[in-house]
Structure 1
Amino acid sequence: MMIGLTIVAMGSSAPEIMVAATASFAGNTNTAVGNSIGSNITNIALVLGITALIKPLVVSSTTLKRELPIMLVITLIGVYFLADSELSRIEGIVLITLFVLVIAGMAVLSFTVEKNDPLVAEAGTDVPSDVAMSTAIFWVAVGLILLPTSAHFLVDSAVVIAKHFGISDLVIGLTIIAIGTSLPELAACVASVLKGEDDLALGNIIGSNIFNLLAVLAMPGLIAPGVIDESVANRDSLVMLGLSILLFVFCFNLRGSRRINRFEAATFLVIFIGYQYILFA
């Protein structure tokens, strides 16, 4: 359960964390912030939209019903911090502290969660049991080498593209980088839903969005605090908040079905396409 709630979601958010840190060290604060906000928008509107379009998602896990309000509260905190178009070091410290507290809370939750919770069984089946320790350590080492290297090339290349086409660093972070770093979530969600693991697919998105706002958004605050593009407060953070509220409504609708059907999935995709049009129009 601990692996399903934390390590899987954190692992799929690792590209965002590394890209945000790399961009922040390079002084591209808007790219880092755009990656955090854009990844959350992409996770809900594109990844969850495609996943639920393939197969409607049924929300049955008690754990997810607790995590969704937490994600919504953390989203509100992120929107509040970005409302003044500035991300301070104190706000970065608050976010990374909340990240540690959330991890600790999930660790406690893993010992108290109901054993018949669908997410427990689904998370358990995704943990390989036939991998040797030496093999696991080898691939972790490979990942730790390739991840910062690829993040460096991704950020540098995105900046070159932005300058060539006259696109802002923020928009590049919200689009190309956000979509690129959200591919692990897309792969994990599609694989989960094809195996009938609806709660794990949705849990991956919720966990990833929580980590994106706490760990990823904390990077520019800690490393390169300062003024950010006003569009983040006036447009992008509000789109992220709207999608988060919409996800909450779809999962806890008045009909009591607690599922994301294909119509709702199509709604997410239409919003994503419309948002991309606004960014590049």
Structure 2
Amino acid sequence: MLFSLVWMLAGLVILYIGAEGLVRGSAAMALRLGVSPLVIGLTVVAYGTSMPELVVSINAGLAGQGAIAIGNVIGSNIFNIAATLGVAALISPMRVKLQIIRLDAPVMIVASLLFLGFFRDGRISRVEGGLFILGLLLYTGGNLYLARKEMAAAYTLDPAYPGVPRNTAPLWLNLLLIAGGFGLLIVGANLLVKGAVAFARLMGVSEAVIGLTIIAAGTSLPELATSVVAAFKREADIAIGNIIGSNIFNILCILGISASITPLEGAGIRLIDLLVMLGVAILLLPIMKTNFLLDRKEGLVLVAGYAGYVLSLLL
């Protein structure tokens, strides 16, 4: 039991250090490149923190366990919005940029609808996987192009932009912070999950409950750690962008690559879980449009909703 607790504590510490480095490096790189922290959060940070989900889903697909690959994405997307954004909002109310409302949140909803539509026959084919990848390329390319074109001048002329530190460090140092942050997030998440699983087994918790709770949330720990640290540092763009971008990446890239390698059969995946994933994505849009603010009350609603969802799985 002592070793389990040590693993968990070490995992939490490493997660924090990794998230701190990732947020600092990302915010500084955004200023240096002349793009907004939101764009960095939606792309570099979001895609990087989704690497655990990518590895798990590809390995599951290759092992013929398509349901695990698909369920991993569904569970991660629900956790990201309801738990991670909810906790981040409880820490610090977050201003929502117009770009999120007009572009990124709608793309997340459309991706979720495509997921639901493609999965109507209980599987995701190679062709559908290829369409997901094409969608990711279009979204990422368009996002970076628009951001660079519309925001570079403002960020270059206004180095005192709130929420972005003045940056005189070389680009390689920012990249090192980001890469090191990603690495520490993965190591910390693995340690924390191993410790939690070992502790749960010692306490007599069943494998099914462990899988539905600890493992499902475990691959989303990098997103949680990064968004929580970003919320503490008042980096709302990175906190929100990380989650929206990660959910888009989970569907378009993770399912896209996994299904392109081998078609994914989703036996055992419940329609209700897909609908919950779509529902929280749709619900998030009007919540964020309220005064363009994600406040503590709304964060509490999201966290309570996730707690209710987990209880429904366990009962």
2:248 corresponding residue in structure 1: 210
TM-score of the aligned structures, taking structure 1 as reference length: 0.79
CA gap 1:69/1:143 in 2 versus in 1, 3 angstroms:
closer
Whole-Å separation in 2 of the counterparts to 1:130 and 1:78: 42
1:130 corresponding residue in structure 2: 169
2:208 corresponding residue in structure 1: 167
SS at match of 2:307: helix
User: Which amino acid is the alignment partner of residue 280 of structure 1?
Assistant: L
User: Which amino acid is the alignment partner of residue 52 of structure 2?
Assistant: P
Alignment of 1:1-281 (within 5 A): 1=35, 3-59=40-96, 61-65=97-101, 66-114=103-151, 115-116=153-154, 125=165, 130=169, 133=172, 140=179, 165=206, 167=208, 172=211, 175-232=213-270, 234-253=271-290, 257-281=291-315
Superposed CA RMSD in Å reads 3.5
Deviations 1:33-82 (A, max 9, x none): 111111110000110111111122221x2322221111111111112122
User: Which amino acid is the alignment partner of residue 48 of structure 2?
Assistant: G
2:15 corresponding residue in structure 1: none
SS at match of 2:74: helix
Asked if the contact 1:85–1:230 (Cα under 8 Å) also holds between the matched residues in 2, the reply is no
For residue 229 of structure 1, report the CA deviation from its aligned partner: 2.8
For residue 110 of structure 1, report the CA deviation from its aligned partner: 2.5
User: Which amino acid is the alignment partner of residue 63 of structure 1?
Assistant: Q
2:25 corresponding residue in structure 1: none
Whole-Å separation in 2 of the counterparts to 1:279 and 1:199: 32
Q: Larger Rg: 1 or 2?
A: 2
2:7 corresponding residue in structure 1: none
Aligned identity (percent) is 36
Whole-Å separation in 2 of the counterparts to 1:139 and 1:52: 24
User: Which amino acid is the alignment partner of residue 117 of structure 2?
Assistant: Y
Deviations 1:117-165 (A, max 9, x none): 89x9578549x76368499579959978x969x98xx89xx9xx9xx94
TM-score of the aligned structures, taking structure 2 as reference length: 0.71
Unmatched tracts of structure 1, length 5 or more? none
SS at match of 1:231: coil
For residue 224 of structure 1, report the CA deviation from its aligned partner: 3.1
Q: Say how many residue pairs are matched.
A: 263
Asked if the contact 1:35–1:177 (Cα under 8 Å) also holds between the matched residues in 2, the reply is no
Whole-Å separation in 2 of the counterparts to 1:141 and 1:198: 22
Deviations 1:170-191 (A, max 9, x none): x93x643331111111111111
Unmatched tracts of structure 2, length 5 or more? 1-34
User: Which amino acid is the alignment partner of residue 275 of structure 1?
Assistant: Y
User: Which amino acid is the alignment partner of residue 114 of structure 2?
Assistant: I
SS at match of 1:217: helix
Asked if the contact 1:251–1:259 (Cα under 8 Å) also holds between the matched residues in 2, the reply is yes
Whole-Å separation in 2 of the counterparts to 1:276 and 1:28: 23
CA gap 1:131/1:70 in 2 versus in 1, 3 angstroms:
same
